[in-house]
Structure formats: structure tokens, C-alpha cells
Amino acid sequence: MKNNLREFLQYKNVSQAELAELTGLSRPFINRLTNEKDGVDPQQSTMENIANALDSTVFDIFFNQNVQLVLQTKKANQK
């Protein structure tokens, strides 16, 4: 599944292992999702769990095609 998880992990400075711990998901699953491996289709509750752990939305992490604009806006709002 195409997603923006890698970008959000980098933006939040969170490792895959840390995200796994925060969400209760396995690190191999997080790795497969981050690397957009075929056959990885997370349930809505899993996407919500990840979005909450990264203080974002399911849409921005999993569906938004303009992720760079989202992250730039988040950075600007932090100033």
C-alpha cells in the first residue's frame, strides 16, 4: 500500500522500532508498511493507531499525495 509513513517517521524523528512500541504492532509489520511491500493492507483501526502515535491523520499518512506540503505547513505552524 502506497503511503507517507516513511516521511512522517523522519519528520517526527521516530524509528520503526519506536513506532512499533507506541502502537503495539510488530516491527516487521511496520517495516513492511514503511517500505510499501505488496500485500500489506492495514485495517482502519491500525491506520488510526499509527496516525495517533504520530500525532497526525489517517488521510495524511496513508492517502495524501501532497505530503511535503503538509509537513511544510506543520513545520511553519510550530514556529
Domain of 54, in residue numbers: 5-78
Q: How much is the average pLDDT of 58-78?
A: 77
Asked if pLDDT for residue 52 goes beyond 70, the answer is yes
Percent of the chain, pLDDT > 90?
A: 63
**The domain that contains 40 carries what CATH number?**
1.10.260.40
> What tens digit of pLDDT does each residue of 34-51 get?
998 878 889 999 999 999
Question: What is the tally of structural domains in the chain?
Answer: 1
Mean pLDDT of 21-43: 92
- Mean pLDDT computed over every residue of the chain: 89
Give the pLDDT band (50/70/90) at residue 1.
confident
68-71: long-range contacts (C-beta < 8 A, 24 or more apart)? 68/7, 71/7, 71/8, 71/11
Contact yes or no for 60/7 (Cβ under 8 A)? no
